[in-house]
Every structure is written in structure tokens, then in C-alpha cells.
Chains A and B, each alone.
Chain A
Amino acid sequence: MSEHETHEVENISTNLLLQTVDSLLLDGWRLIQVLALSTTEGYEVNYSFGGGYAMKTLRLHVGPKQSVPSITSYYAAAAYYENEMRDLFGVRIERIHPDWHNDIMGEKTPRAFSRVRVQGTSVERPVPLDAPPVPLASSPAADAQEGAIK
């Protein structure tokens, strides 16, 4: 498929990130997305940039405690991705602006992708809510209820 011919992935080291991003900005690339993955060694962070229909991805490998500089001073749009990434994964990102302080998804949202979890196992369900007991519904409801599960 043609889309992949114009997509290149480049591995770079963390200290070169800002420099590379700066030159991409000068060359007229725009940010498409930032994406994180948890790997066995820590995190992998991918920054994708688009220029016309072409795409270029910078790939960083960072340790669980290592911090990554924010690219929001170059690309303001990155703030949402970076805040979300820090919220869900726990990747340490420095000097994001604006900074939601781990609250973009609401403080109760579990940090599910975080390195703390064991690879591949399922996450525990959140603590059950103190819900009022569900009343046994009257007949029509019960009918519909049966219909719903099958």
C-alpha cells in the first residue's frame, strides 16, 4: 500500500530529541501524533510528523525512571498527547505546557498502561462502587433484562 512507502521510522536518543524536532519544525513538518508503548525495558515513545501526505516517526526508548523533554515549546498541539501519555503510562515528561498535572483524564482514571503492571496480564477491575442494591425490577424490566444478556 502506498501509504507505507512514505513513512519512515527513525530511532533517536533522548538528548537529540529537541534538536531533531526543531529541525523538523523548520522544515515545515506538523505533528500528527505522539504514542507510547510499554516495553520490557521501559517505554517506547513515538512522535509522528506529517509533511503533506508523507509521514516521519521519531522513536525513543526510555527507561521507566528516565525523563523525556516536552516538545510543547515547538509543537503546542503536543500538550494533549503528552499529558495523556503521562496520565495513562506514567512516562516522565518534563516541562509540558499547559500542564494538567496528571488530571487530564480525571484523577480517578486508572493509570492502566503504566509500567507497574505486569506485562500481558489483565488489570484488576477498579474497586466496586458502593452502589445501592439493584431492586428486582417489575416484570417488564425483568423480561427486557433477560433479552439483554443473550
Chain B
Amino acid sequence: MSGSPNAGPGLTVIPFGPQHPVLPEPLHFDLTLQDEKVVDAIPQIGYIHRGLEMLVEKRDFTDYVHVAERICGICSFMHGMGYCEAIETIMDLTVPDRGRWLRTFWCELERVHSHLMWLGLAADAFGFENLFHATWRAREIVLDVAEETAGGRVIYGSCIVGGTSTNPENETLDRCVKELSKVRAETIRLAEVFIGEPTVRHRLEKVGVLGRGKAYALGAVGPMLRASGVDYDMRRKGYEAYPELTFATMVETSGDCMARAKVRIREIDESLRLLGEIVARMPGGPVAVPVKGAPEGEGWVRVEQPRGEALYFVRANGKRNPERFRVRTPTFANIPAMVEVMVGSQLADVPTIILTIDPCISCTER
């Protein structure tokens, strides 16, 4: 591999990964060091590459949702939804109101679950095992709500082409919102501990700074971009029920690891508030429209996942099996920025930097 720098005088190349101290997933970097300073970082991918984009040729377009959901178990619902939206744009299907609002509900639920998970892992990486357990206990409530409303804890399985497959009762949703209010109180408490702790601040502040212009030019998305001061959130673009909702985009300006942490923590709070609003305004009626025929044409969809903007592309030729499916996931878009931040940082900060980018390797490699 070229790209791999020849270790010159005073330079050392060390492999970082694939098995990791900070993540359960295998991610591999070749780091070139000069003393303790990283001068180059080259990612290697492919440990989790499955090739699921090609599976679309063998699956009926309505069945492929199940595969799309399993691009990543953390943002599973949104992956399924992105695929469904792409098919729906091709086939000109209009999802009924209740279906749209339910999808939005699950999207926000997933954002809460993902960010809470991140908060827990971050706490664990800093050695706050206590905080890790407390966060994950709060997160279990979110998963219970998911199980009760959608049917699955991590893989929801509730999104189908044309709408949703489950239709929870309004009373269930109300009860869920009550449960979630506990999470909100708990999160605020935990986040204060996390952010206020001097050791955490010492390790996050002014570490891994990504400037505004660079973040935008390198194609960073999601919390990574917003932490650098760019107000960019695909939800603003309006899909599902988002055009009818008002919500704040969390923007920080310092661009360091702390800013990225703060953006996520604020988003948990905002999403929990949004969940309450969604349930309060949940319309009635059917949740799905019947799907007839087969798609023909191409659809491009962009949605905002917990980690940022994801792009879905489907091309179909009028047969039951589409021709090509493509997903550009947020972590893939964040890799160039991640490498940029790593170069010039201290080796000891590399795990922190990787952590605050919240990489999802499974969806990066598909």
C-alpha cells in the first residue's frame, strides 16, 4: 500500500486496531508518529464489509427493507426509512399522515438511544464506569419504549415501503412519553456530571480542533459539522413530519472534542422534547398505503441520522428487484475530517478523537 508513508528518520508507523480499546467494532488505522505526534493517519476498512448493497439484486424491493435496516443496528430504523423513502419517491407513494408522524417518532427515539449510547461509551473510555452504567440504565427505558411501540429493541422492523407496519395505540404512546420524561431528567443530571468533570474537560477541551471552513470543505456531517459552527441539519430540509415541527439545531463554535460532546448532549434533550410534541400532535388514520406494481426510475434521499446526513440512492428498472442501491453513510463522510483532525494531534488523544466522532464502522463498510 502506498499511501503508507515510508517510515523516515524519526518516524514510526504503528497499527491502531483492528481490535480496539474504545470501540467494540474493528477499525484500523496506520498511524505515522514523530515522537508522540501523529504526522499521518491512514484508515483501512473492510473488516465488516459484507456487500449488502448488491443484495438488492436478489431481493424483492419490499423485502430489502429488512436488509437495509441491518446496515447498522444503531441507526437501523433510519436506514430502513431512507430506503423506503427512496422507493416511495420512485413510485410516487404518499405515506399517510399517521405513518409519517410515527416514522418521525421512531427517528427521534433512535437519535436519543444512539446519543445516550455514545455518552455511555465516552464515559467508559474515560474510566467512569459508574456513569457508563447509569447512562445505559437510562437508555434501557428508551429501548423499552422502542420495543413496546415498534416491536424490536434495536432492529425496529416497523418501517415498510408505503408506511409503517405497526400502529401503536395513542394510549401506549402517551405512556411512553411519560416514561421518556424520566430519561430526560436523568440525562440532564448525567450530562452535567460528565461535562463538568475536570478530568473530562481536560481531555476534551481544545483537543482535536476542526475549523469551520475545513469541516465544511472536507464534507463533515452531523454533530461533527455542527460542533464546528455550521448550522446544517438535514431535518431542516423537510422529510416525513419535520416540516411541521419546529426544533432547534444545536450548534457549537469551538470545534473541539468538547463541542462535539456538547452538541450530542443537547440533541438528546431536544429530541426528547420533540418526542413529546410528536405524540401530542399525532394524527389518526391509516399508517400505510398499499404498494402496487414495481418501481422504475431512480430516487435520491438524504436524511439526518444521529451521526449526520446519510444519502440513499436506488435505481430500479421496473422489475421486482431494483438494479442498484447505494448508501453513503455519515461516518464515511466524516473519515476525511477525522484524519485531518488526527494529523498533528498527540497519540494519547487519538482514542478520544475517534470516540467523539462516534464512528459507526458497520455502516461505513456496509
Taking Cβ atoms with an 8 Å cutoff, the residues of A that contact B are 1-4, 7, 30-33, 35, 37, 46, 48, 53, 55, 57, 75-77, 79-80, 84, 98-101, 103-106, 109-110, 112-113, 120, 122-123
Contact B1 A105 (CB under 8 A): no
- Give the residue of B45, B219, B313, B365 whose beta carbon is less than 8 angstroms from that of A35: B313
- Complex A-B, nearest 7 residue pairs according to Cβ-Cβ distance, in ascending order: A98-B3, A105-B46, A106-B46, A33-B328, A77-B336, A77-B219, A35-B326
With both beta carbons as reference points, the residue of chain B lying nearest to A57 in the complex is identified as B300
B253: min CB distance to chain A, Å: 19
Residues of A within 8 A of B234 (CB): 53
- Give the residue of B49, B51, B57, B300 whose beta carbon is less than 8 angstroms from that of A3: B300
Contact B336 A104 (CB under 8 A): no
Contact A30 B216 (CB under 8 A): yes
B interface SS class: mixed
Contact B44 A106 (CB under 8 A): yes
Contact B89 A4 (CB under 8 A): yes
With both beta carbons as reference points, the residue of chain B lying nearest to A76 in the complex is identified as B336
B243: min CB distance to chain A, Å: 8
Contact A32 B1 (CB under 8 A): no
Contact B42 A32 (CB under 8 A): no
| Residue among A1, A4, A101, A105 with max Cβ neighbours from chain B (10 Å) | A1
Residues of B within 8 A of A84 (CB): 45
Contact B1 A101 (CB under 8 A): yes
With both beta carbons as reference points, the residue of chain A lying nearest to B219 in the complex is identified as A77
Alpha-carbon distance between A47 and B217 when the two chains are bound, in angstroms = 15
B141: min CB distance to chain A, Å: 28
Alpha-carbon distance between A122 and B49 when the two chains are bound, in angstroms = 18
Alpha-carbon distance between A56 and B49 when the two chains are bound, in angstroms = 28
Contact A1 B3 (CB under 8 A): no
With both beta carbons as reference points, the residue of chain A lying nearest to B303 in the complex is identified as A3
Alpha-carbon distance between A98 and B30 when the two chains are bound, in angstroms = 13
Contact B218 A37 (CB under 8 A): no
Q: Is B54 in the interface zone, CB < 8 Å from A?
A: yes
- Tell whether A80 pairs with B336 under 8 Å between CB atoms, given A53-B237, A99-B2, A105-B49: yes
Residues of B within 8 A of A1 (CB): 85, 89, 238-239
- Give the residue of A57, A79, A104, A112 whose beta carbon is less than 8 angstroms from that of B46: A104
Q: Mark each residue of chain B from 324 to 335: 1 if its CB lies under 8 Å from any CB of chain A, else 0.
A: 101010001101
Alpha-carbon distance between A70 and B44 when the two chains are bound, in angstroms = 20
Contact B218 A77 (CB under 8 A): yes
Alpha-carbon distance between A80 and B41 when the two chains are bound, in angstroms = 13
Query: Of residues 293 to 307 in B, which have CB atoms within 8 Å of A's CB atoms?
Result: 300-302
| Residue among A7, A98, A101 with max Cβ neighbours from chain B (10 Å) | A98
